[in-house]
Structure 1
Amino acid sequence: MIDVGSLSALRSVAALGTIARAADELGFTASAVSQQIKRLERQIGVALLAPAGRGVVLTPSGQALLDAAPDVFQSLERCAEAARSVADGTPSGVLRVAAFSTAIRGLLAPHLPSLATACPDLRLQVTEQDPDQALHSVAAGTADLAIIHDADGLSPRLPASLVHRHLHTDLGDLVMHRSHPLAAAGQPLTSADVAGLAWVTSPPGTVCHQWFRRLVSDQPGEPDVRHLVDDFATQLSLVATSAVIALVPRLARPALGDDLVTRALTPPPMREVSAAWRRSADASPAIRAVVAELLSGADVS
């Protein structure tokens, strides 16, 4: 009989490209993962991996095995969820959540106290991961629930084994010192209103930098970007000097204090935030409880 743990190890090695990276993800030593793969090859009687540079790739037999593996994993998880459901459907145990940082700060953390009250036997284990990595973790079984966002209006590609549910629409606002000339604006600001201003922005490659570039795309010349800072609290400390303004998602926004104000933009920058989990875990009381709690806070602003 095929060893399920070894099959899971093969799945991680195939996804990550090296035994060492798979070992880090699974919490094993590289030697242990290598032994699992060799055990699986002995059980099946064919080679499953082949060297490729500094990494490894699946052989045709290994690919055929992994192509059939999702049915195995989903069946096993359905068995486990059926057993948990019989136990009266009370959320319990550990739910492993992979989420991007601002969702942890602005969406998940505010709900942890009420979740603890409503589900005292449930413990959340939260890991910060970008959306692509979070989806991989859920698909690979190293996380149970992913909180993800779209990228510049494009939804992440979900494997067929995953389902998702929309949680929240996150908007971006301008943040400035209350002495700034635009602070007195009584209506949403446009790209023309911010032409020529000095900025602190998130680094290239982030959703917030994409928002910023779209906002200034019709302005002549390069925008006056004074600082590139990933941490939003640090951005706001620079905005507090009154020399620059920032474009900050509402989920990511710390308390502003007395010196800073926000102003809306038109059209508003936005990103859609969703939860994703394995289709085979759809009946999980823990996942249902957490998703329902997050939906109850969909009006974060």
Structure 2
Amino acid sequence: MIDLRRLTVLRAIARYSTVTAAAGSLHLTPSAVSQQMRQLSRDTGTPLLEPHGRRVRLTPAARVLLRHADRMEDYWQQAEAELAATRPAALSGTLRLAGFPTAVSVFLAPAAAQLRHASPTLTIEVREAEPAHCFDLLFCADTDLAVVEATADNPPLSDAAFAQRPLFEDPFELLTCASHPLAGRPSVAFHDLAEEPWVVGFPGDSARQLILAACNSAGFSPAIAHQARDWSAVASLVAHGLGIALIPSTATLPPQPQLVRTPLTGSNRPTRQFVRVVRSGSEQHPAIDAVTPLLDSLAAKHTDRAG
């Protein structure tokens, strides 16, 4: 008989590639993880791991077992959702939400407030976390729903562990000082920014990657004058006339009369994608089913404003 908890360990090793990282995600010691895998190998009668440099690699037999483990986890999430639906009508228990700072301020905080008012017997916990950490929290069942920014580093949509749904497209806007020649226009074409000095984030920053890709698509390479990670720092540099910047429509800036935000036009304008993520199989859990319409409604309102 295979212990289902050992399949959870196998799934963690497949995701993180090292025993130490898998142990950390499961709140276990590396020795405990190794012991669980040795026992699972005995239970199945076949080796499941093999060394691969500093990492470990799943054997072909382990990958067969992993496919079934992913399906079993999905079924278990569905079972928990159906069991929760048989309880009294009033929502109870705890719903844990996670997201990066903008997702918290724009979506999760207002949705949590609305849901708390509608379902006072439901405890709601909101946690700030960057997208990569959000997926880790979901995988190890430390959160129930996350709102993340779509990036190339996120797990693919085909990842069996997660159900990912688009939530909101957040277009970037032009940020200039009030005295800039482009500041008085109702909108600005993206290609009109080719000769401007730019304020962008640091290498590896997701907004910087989107902006540089958009510039490349428009046929120019921006002249980067200054680099800053925090939106308020970007705004300060722009307010002093040191360059232009592109910022998402949902980005909150300190009130400064020297700043002007102008919509961009053209197919090249960058847009970041917000994605709603849960564990596969858990979509119909009553608490998740209650919060998703609230998130969708907030997304629709912001879409109308951004449009």
CA 1:69–1:48 in 2, change beyond 3 Å: closer, same or farther?
Answer: same
Cα distance in 2 for partners of 1:79, 1:157 equals 23
Cα distance in 1 for partners of 2:214, 2:64 equals 47
Residue deviations 1:119-154 (CA, integer Å, cap 9, x gap): 332322424132x664465456454323234459x9
Scaled by the length of structure 2, the TM-score of the pair is: 0.84
CA 1:162–1:55 in 2, change beyond 3 Å: closer, same or farther?
Answer: closer
| Runs of 5+ consecutive residues of structure 1 not aligned to the other structure | none
CA 1:164–1:214 in 2, change beyond 3 Å: closer, same or farther?
Answer: closer
CA 1:223–1:280 in 2, change beyond 3 Å: closer, same or farther?
Answer: closer
Select between 19-28 and 198-207 the one with higher mean Cα deviation: 198-207
Cα distance in 2 for partners of 1:293, 1:202 equals 32
> Identity over aligned residues, as a percent?
32
Contact residue 13 and residue 19 of structure 1 kept, 8 A: yes
SS in 1 for 2:82: helix
Using the TM superposition, give the Cα deviation of residue 103 of structure 1 relative to its aligned residue in structure 2, in angstroms.
1.9
Select between 84-93 and 206-215 the one with higher mean Cα deviation: 206-215
Contact residue 90 and residue 285 of structure 1 kept, 8 A: no
| Paired residue type of 1:239 | V
CA 1:255–1:119 in 2, change beyond 3 Å: closer, same or farther?
Answer: farther
Residue deviations 1:220-275 (CA, integer Å, cap 9, x gap): 6x532122222222211222222222111122333443332201111243233231
Within-5 A mapping of 1:48-59: 48-59=48-59
Q: Is residue 20 of structure 2 the alignment partner of residue 20 of structure 1?
A: yes
Contact residue 112 and residue 124 of structure 2 kept, 8 A: no
Residue deviations 1:146-201 (CA, integer Å, cap 9, x gap): 3234459x99523245434332221110112222222122x210134323222211
Within-5 A mapping of 1:1-301: 1-120=1-120, 121-130=122-131, 134-135=134-135, 138=138, 141-151=141-151, 156-160=156-160, 162-185=162-185, 187-217=186-216, 218=218, 222-267=221-266, 268-298=269-299, 299-300=301-302, 301=305
SS in 1 for 2:188: coil
SS in 1 for 2:224: strand
Contact residue 85 and residue 285 of structure 1 kept, 8 A: yes
| Runs of 5+ consecutive residues of structure 2 not aligned to the other structure | none
Cα distance in 2 for partners of 1:134, 1:158 equals 17
RMSD: 2.7
Select between 210-219 and 44-53 the one with higher mean Cα deviation: 210-219
Using the TM superposition, give the Cα deviation of residue 77 of structure 1 relative to its aligned residue in structure 2, in angstroms.
2.1
Using the TM superposition, give the Cα deviation of residue 73 of structure 1 relative to its aligned residue in structure 2, in angstroms.
1.3
SS in 1 for 2:187: coil
Cα distance in 1 for partners of 2:199, 2:2 equals 55
| Paired residue type of 1:188 | S
Contact residue 138 and residue 277 of structure 1 kept, 8 A: yes
Contact residue 169 and residue 272 of structure 1 kept, 8 A: yes
CA 1:91–1:170 in 2, change beyond 3 Å: closer, same or farther?
Answer: farther
Cα distance in 1 for partners of 2:89, 2:225 equals 54
SS in 1 for 2:246: strand
Cα distance in 2 for partners of 1:248, 1:56 equals 42
Cα distance in 1 for partners of 2:158, 2:142 equals 16
CA 1:18–1:192 in 2, change beyond 3 Å: closer, same or farther?
Answer: closer
Contact residue 233 and residue 254 of structure 1 kept, 8 A: yes
Residue deviations 1:73-109 (CA, integer Å, cap 9, x gap): 1222222222211113544333343434432233223
